[in-house]
Amino acid sequence: MLVECVQGEGGYRPAGRKFIKTVSKVSKKYGFPLIIDEIQSGLGRTGKWWSFQHYGITPDIMTSAKSLQVGATVASNKYDPNESGAVSSTWGGGHRIDMAVGLKMIEVIEKEKLLKNAEIVGKYTMKKLNELKEKYPTKISDIRGIGLMIGMEFFSKKYRDLVELNAFRCGLLTMGCGVKTLRIAPPLIINKDEIGQGLDVIEFCLKRC
Ligand SMILES: Cc1ncc(COP(=O)(O)O)c(C=O)c1O
């Protein structure tokens, strides 16, 4: 079974703890592998290296890509006794320069304590976005996420698309996901002031849609 602990394209939607725990238990009981897709949620995005670490489970197989620069699949020995890991690639070139960049990414996240930053700035962003939700209760329907993987859901796709387009015109790049959600996924080095500037742009766009 292949699961995202925090859905990416599906709308930046964290799974419930009970759901993930149950899936893990059932996979062990019936002996099928649990594959956690960390392609969007991995490498520190949620404030831990991997999103499954928020759920207290260990997958049998996991995938990583995007921030890692190379597409990688890691499986427990049980499933792949002759391989210590496999690098394949659609999301990332997978050549030596990509691998060097991916390695550097890991070093920088460690050295600059970016997991902690994602956790702290993520909480701050959620708080501020929830204030916006209170202020615009007919436009924003939900704020959810973990760390710096945050979804801002609107009551209609029209509002979402307008905010996305107008924010872009103001120089703020966001991206839609799901049906009517805006993804807030800034770089892990972002600080509270920079988040504040981005949120000012979002509010400016909200007022006008
Ligand atoms: C969470 C997640 N998993 C998997 C993929 C797909 O990767 P691929 O293009 O290698 O099938 C993506 C691509 O956006 C993704 O976001």
Residue to mutate (ligand 1; options 6, 40, 45, 73; most atoms within 8 A of CB): 40
In the structure, which protein residues have their CB atom closer than 6 angstroms to any atom of ligand 1?
4, 8-9, 37, 39-40, 71, 90-91
Ligand 1 centre to CA of 39 (Å) is 6
Report the chain (209 residues): mean pLDDT per 10 consecutive residues: 97 98 98 96 98 97 89 82 66 77 95 98 98 98 98 98 97 97 98 98 95
What's the confidence (pLDDT) of residue 85?
62
In the chain the domains, ranked by start, together with CATH numbers, are 2-111 (3.40.640.10), 114-208 (3.90.1150.10)
Helix (H) / strand (E) element for 110: namely helix 96-111
Q: Which atom of ligand 1 is nearest to the CA of 4?
A: 1
What's the confidence (pLDDT) of residue 93?
66
What's the confidence (pLDDT) of residue 97?
87
What's the confidence (pLDDT) of residue 75?
85
What's the confidence (pLDDT) of residue 70?
84
What's the confidence (pLDDT) of residue 74?
85
* 39 residue type, one letter: I
Structure tokens at 161: 């698309």
Half-sphere exposure of 64 (CA within 13 A, CB side): 22
